[in-house]
Structure 1
Amino acid sequence: MEWTINGARRSAEPDIRTTLLDLLREHLDLTGAKKGCDHGQCGACTVLIAPAGSEAGARRVLSCLCLAVMHQDDRITTIEGIADGAALHPLQRAFIAHDGYQCGYCTPGQICSAVGMLDEAAKGWPSHASAELAAPTLARAEIAERMSGNLCRCAAYPNIVDAIAEVAAA
């Protein structure tokens, strides 16, 4: 079986019941996405998936909740594919500048989720906290709501929101 992950074709022969997270970590040695709760409640395993044959942007997906075989034709981006070579993604730089991580365990999922969230906001998709449905603005409460599916045991939330707000404003 083959997948397009971080722009490259990768192959493996996992059991058809293998989750996307286990494929990435155990079969392809892409260990950036973390196994936190394994129940879709913490967001540590968040990756970005763009549907096959679609020009639509990538959506945030909890890789522990989906089977790898479901995404063979899709374009998958993990934290390992966020940077452009040696040049860090703006969110990665902002997380460093704002100390948006403590232990770092949740950081890959936080960054992938933030990339997807910023794309959703740019498309004008409202959230539960959006004051305006037509053109949501990314105030601190809005960012916090949109990132609420990603938990940080170290409680670095204010720094994470600061990092995302900086990139959103740029």
Structure 2
Amino acid sequence: MARLTVNGTEHDLDLAPDVPLLWALRDTLGLTGTKYGCGLSQCGACTVHVDGQAVRACQTYVGDVTDTEITTIEGLSGPVADAVLKAWEDLSVSQCGYCQPGQIMEAVALLAGTPEPDDEAINAAMNGNLCRCGTYGRIRAAIHAAAEALKQTERG
């Protein structure tokens, strides 16, 4: 039995501790916004937040996250998330959209910790989040736009 707190709700799940978090989220809880990509923690499609940090759900095990706060794309909220989502929409970042939940989760984690990232910081944080459509330029521009929007909001 595993007790997971996902998007603010506690769940008691009859799962072995070595079950990947990705399968608990998708198959047991029905939260399909977190995508399966490679299963090897190499593509970023399965990125979620665990205690605010971006992690790959395919290589994170249920037994390792029982006393944590897990956030999926479905539960993402707050000023940073709102700024990122608006920038994504304004700049038409998504093409096929498959990788976008993972990209967005990684971008929110980046901006939460580094409010004004330069291109080097963005590239470092987003490295390993693959986009088969190649929208990397729009992703970087959207992160800059979200950072600027957050800065403008702080100024009032």
TM range (shorter): 0.7 to 0.9
Task: Determine the structure 2 residue equivalent to 1:36.
Answer: 37
Task: Determine the structure 2 residue equivalent to 1:94.
Answer: 87
What's the secondary structure of 1:4's corresponding residue?
strand
Identical-residue share of aligned pairs (%): 39
Q: Distance in 2 between matches of 1:10 and 1:80?
A: 16
The Cα of 1:44 is off from its aligned counterpart by: 0.5
The Cα of 1:142 is off from its aligned counterpart by: 2.8
Is contact 1:36–1:42 with CA below 8 Å preserved after alignment? yes
Task: Determine the structure 1 residue equivalent to 2:108.
Answer: 115
The Cα of 1:144 is off from its aligned counterpart by: 2.1
Is contact 2:36–2:46 with CA below 8 Å preserved after alignment? yes
1:109 partner letter = G
- Structure 1 runs, 4 residues or longer, greater than 3 Å off: none
Aligned CA RMSD, in angstroms, stands at 1.5
The Cα of 1:158 is off from its aligned counterpart by: 0.8
Q: Distance in 1 between matches of 2:55 and 2:99?
A: 15
The Cα of 1:120 is off from its aligned counterpart by: 2.4
Deviations 1:45-98 (A, max 9, x none): 010111xxxxxxx111111111112101100001001136xxx72211211111
Unaligned runs of 5+ in 2: 150-156
The Cα of 1:15 is off from its aligned counterpart by: 2.7
Is contact 1:14–1:27 with CA below 8 Å preserved after alignment? no
Aligned equivalent of 1:165, options 107, 125, 144: 144
> After superposition, where does 1:1-170 map in structure 2 within 5 Å?
1-50=2-51, 58-83=52-77, 89-122=82-115, 138-170=117-149
Unaligned runs of 5+ in 1: 51-57, 123-136
2:66 partner letter = Q
Is contact 1:6–1:75 with CA below 8 Å preserved after alignment? yes
More helix by share: 2
Q: Compute the TM-score of the two structures, normalised by the length of structure 2.
A: 0.87
